Amino acid sequence: MFVQPVDYFLAVWFVLAGLSTAYVAWDQFRNNPEPVVMKWGFILVTLYMGPLGLLIYVLADKEPRPGEHEAFTKPLWKQGVGSTIHCVAGDATGIILAAAITAALGLPMWIDLVVEYVAGFAFGLFIFQSLFMKSMMGGTYWENVRKSFMPEFISMNFMMAGMAPIMSFLMMGSDMRAMEPTELLFWGVMSFGVIVGFVTAYPANIWMVARGLKHGLMTEREPELDKAREGRREHAHSGAKAGMVGQHAYARLDEHAKPRHANPGGNPGPGHHGSGHGSSHGDGGGGLRGSHGGHDGMEPDATVPQLAAFGGVSVLALALGMIAPANWVNLALSARDVGGAIMPPGMIMDRDTPAAAMLDMAAVHPRLITASHGLEVRGDRELEARMENGVKVFDLETSVIRWAILPDVKVDAYAINGQVPGPRLHIRQGDRVRINVTNRLPESTTIHWHGLILPNEMDGPAEITQEPIPPGGSYRYEFTAGQSGTYFYHSHDHVDRQQALGLYGALIIDPANPQDEIAADHDYVIQLQEWLMREGLTFPSMPMDGGQPNYFTINGRAYPSTDTIRMKVGETLKVRFIGTNNGFIHPMHIHGGPFEVVARDGETIPASARFLADTVNVGPGQRYDVVWQARRPGKWLIHCHIGHHTTNNNVEEKGGGGLMVVIDVQP
């Protein structure tokens, strides 16, 4: 499932990688005259590096015209490409296999890096270098292992020095789907890591080829094909010159009865890379199958101090690439710990950030969405109880939905009974109530009945008064409502995440004596909320760097999609402000004259203590009941007096946004 723009890019990239690999495979086995091991090297590297692998193949190795492979691949930079290709093909295969296995096993990232290095080095040395090259280089398998060890060690060190930071920072970055082998992003990081590893290993491979420590590109021809191509070249020249070329080529083969590797510049160097084992060079002549030089045909001229220095630097580069990222990211975490979490842009994470914090701050994964609702579906709908032996029974079910807060803006939310806010529970003081809660979230949850006096085991704090309700599980809350007033319920497990994503609802308790109710012509509940939506994903908003909200809602809608309250001059309106939000104090103000504060946190204020105000600061968890009288006709606002909270993604629309409601008063 594509959840980020990078997913679309990666899909295109891997389609191109597949097409590029198919072309390289077809061309290698149909047209290009080189050993099978190098054919497979280019095929694998193109699979890992996509179109860049194809570009390298075409520029450095693909025979441009029949009979020209030797001369075409002769330059040192191309020989370095061949040597690096051979290294990367084997090492990267081991690294990628190890990364997929360690991720599936849930091993920490630092162990993952160590296993990847060991697997890459072992695969490159024991299989791609020593096993696949044995038939070409001659000697026993263990002789090939011994002679390939140091070059492979140096090359692998530089390659992993480039790959390790890429994997550490991208896998443990803001989008940790990169740690999951089932995600495109994992393979994208692998591909990018191989590209960087190729770049960091390339200079070392040029030096080793130049010093005769490694082989570069090679040419291998069938004798019949070689003669046919030689004939075509002779036909293109004058007879005399063709004869001279032919004599020169055969003379060189006679002269070098023991095959050796020609210097790329045509000078007899110390067993240089050559364009192939047993190939003729300089004049473009082709070598015969089976005439490879072997390790004994190579004459390395690197000194021991040079090898020691180069090897030491490669170890330092490897150590830096493997260890340095631990200063910035928590390498103790595994794919199983973070579960493919996507962090909000700008979120500060460091080497001490635990997995639990990452999971709480992470986006709601779009794969979890079970329903999508437009503006036609309202939240805070009153839920009718059913009676069972004198008990009022309510059924609540949590789920993950997509919820419209504006005509063109939907958030991914945690909902109760498919709505945000959850259904309103309206009961009377003295009622015996039973609430059956079923959890359909991807994580555990509980429900807390905010402000109520009830049995401790019914209070709801996870792991304190009850075991959390697991995904798919249920819990029954039952108590007698001994209070009256404005209350609410909300999650009390992963509170900063679940309540911020919509897991709350109003609980209105009428007094047992209707005479105790403070009367008004209209009654309106306002439940406040803050949302963070970036790059098409919804994150739980938090008052911290990277977690600041950019949308604000009243009863699950942002202005101008909030309700319009319709009244007449002289009528009264009771507004029940409920701080169902998590992060901010909202100074709620009503235009058109002061209101009377009649209740706070569910408790009715005695008549003598009530007071007039035009703004109340509603903090998280607080409730205020106020009575406002429509004194004059017109459109009067209820809104938060923090300007940013009356915008939508920092933009005003039709005079505002976010925490705004219009009271339309008619004469």
Task: Give the CATH number for residue 394.
Answer: 2.60.40.420
Is residue 350 included in any domain, yes or no? no
Given 240, 271, 297, the domain boundary residue is 297
Count each helix (H run) and each strand (E run) in the chain, helices first: 15, 23
Q: Where are the alpha helices (DSSP H) in 353-460?
A: 355-361
Is residue 441 included in any domain, yes or no? yes
SS3 314: helix
CB 32 within 8 A of CB 69: yes
Given 270, 297, 324, the domain boundary residue is 297
Q: Does 471 sit behind a cis peptide bond, omega within 30 degrees of 0 on the bond before it? A: no
SS3 419: strand
Q: What's the confidence (pLDDT) of residue 133?
A: 65
Is residue 57 included in any domain, yes or no? no
Q: What's the confidence (pLDDT) of residue 112?
A: 93
Tokens of 18: 């597949």
d(CA 105, CA 84): 31
Say yes or no: 546 and 609 in one domain.
yes
Q: In this structure, what is the dihedral angle of CA atoms 178, 181, 186, 187, given to the nearest 10 degrees?
A: 180
Q: Which helix (H) or strand (E) holds 205?
A: helix 184-210
Say yes or no: 529 and 637 in one domain.
yes
Say yes or no: 153 and 275 in one domain.
no
Is residue 565 included in any domain, yes or no? yes
Q: What's the confidence (pLDDT) of residue 258?
A: 36
Tokens of 367: 């794969």
Say yes or no: 166 and 274 in one domain.
no
Residue with tokens 């994992």: 186
Say yes or no: 105 and 245 in one domain.
no
Tokens of 245: 């070329």
Q: What's the confidence (pLDDT) of residue 134?
A: 61
Say yes or no: 418 and 557 in one domain.
yes
Return the amino acid letter for 491.
S
SS3 508: strand
CB 147 within 8 A of CB 138: no
Tokens of 247: 């004599």
Is residue 358 included in any domain, yes or no? no
Q: What's the confidence (pLDDT) of residue 47?
A: 96
Single pTM value for the model? 0.82
Counting as low any pLDDT under 50, the low residues of the chain are 226, 228-229, 232-297
Say yes or no: 474 and 409 in one domain.
yes
Is residue 19 included in any domain, yes or no? no
CB 423 within 8 A of CB 505: yes
Is residue 325 included in any domain, yes or no? yes
Instruction: Supply the angle between the helices 130-137 and 36-49 in degrees, to the nearest 10.
Output: 150
| Residue ranges making up the domain that contains 585 | 373-666
d(CA 322, CA 318): 6
Say yes or no: 100 and 210 in one domain.
yes
Say yes or no: 395 and 505 in one domain.
yes
SS3 355: helix
Sign of CA dihedral 350, 355, 360, 366: positive
Q: Which helix (H) or strand (E) holds 505?
A: strand 504-510
CB 84 within 8 A of CB 42: no
Tokens of 634: 């017109």
Say yes or no: 240 and 186 in one domain.
no
Number of domains in the chain: 3
Is residue 381 included in any domain, yes or no? yes
Say yes or no: 315 and 392 in one domain.
no
Q: What's the confidence (pLDDT) of residue 123?
A: 86
Q: Which helix (H) or strand (E) holds 79?
A: helix 76-105
Contacts with 657 (C-beta within 8 Å, 6 or more apart), sequence order: 552, 558, 559, 560, 646, 647, 648, 651
Say yes or no: 546 and 529 in one domain.
yes
Q: What's the confidence (pLDDT) of residue 132?
A: 66
How far is Cα of residue 206 from the mean position of the Cα atoms in its chain? Answer: 35
